[in-house]
Amino acid sequence: MEASRIPTYKLFGETEIWPTPEPVHHETIAARSSLYAWEIRPHSHDNLYQILFLESGRADMTLETQRDALPVPCIVAMPPRHIHGFEFSPDVIGHIVTLPQFLVRELLALSPDLVLELDHARVHALDGDAAAALYLRQSFGRFCVEYGASREGRVSVLMAILTEVLVWLA
């Protein structure tokens, strides 16, 4: 893939930052991928970190020049400037959280060694690890509920949940 032809986005298909005031963006995988016939073509992000949690369905991922099927369930950590794309089945169930790279460093300020662990794109298969799959399903479920709420302190709760997930990833 020629790097000059790979688009750089804030969120896939958009050139502006997300439309909400939160320092993070959450959506289901289906919400965005259904808009693009279930295919998110290879692209990159200059300064955004993404976490995809895939609970069920089928997904193929392109990372740089390699295309592979993702093991389901799984969680994918995607740091900035990595060329990536996805093709999902229409029955996909999962979440994607996008945050600025600087926020990853801020959330892990008390554990600086963990930040280095998150500098590489990774796929963590969860098949055979029921405890981890349950933990992540609950964490992303709580994140989704809180993201859609308008309670006092909700951004603090979102950051707490996200910090737990980042520590788990590292």
**Bridge-based pairing state of the strands 59-63 and 84-88:** antiparallel
Q: What is the pLDDT of residues 113-164, one digit of tens each?
A: 999 999 999 999 999 999 999 999 999 999 999 999 989 999 999 999 999 9
Q: What is the pLDDT of residues 57-84, one digit of tens each?
A: 999 999 999 999 999 999 999 999 999 9
**Bridge-based pairing state of the strands 74-78 and 122-125:** antiparallel
CA 72/CA 88 separation, integer angstroms? 11
Instruction: Residue 130: count other Cβ atoms within 10 Å of its Cβ.
Output: 10
| Angstrom distances, CA of residue 7 to CA of 30, 66, 90, 96, 102 | 21, 17, 24, 19, 22
User: Residues 121, 82: contact at Cβ < 8 Å?
Assistant: yes
What is the model's pLDDT at position 19?
56
Rounded (10°) CA dihedral 39, 43, 45, 48 = 30
Q: CA 64, 70, 71 angle in degrees (round to 5)?
A: 150
User: How sure is the predictor about 100, in pLDDT bands with cuts at 50, 70 and 90?
Assistant: very high
pTM here is 0.88
What is the model's pLDDT at position 150?
87
What is the model's pLDDT at position 5?
74
Q: What is the pLDDT of residues 21-56, one digit of tens each?
A: 778 999 999 999 999 999 999 999 888 999 999 999
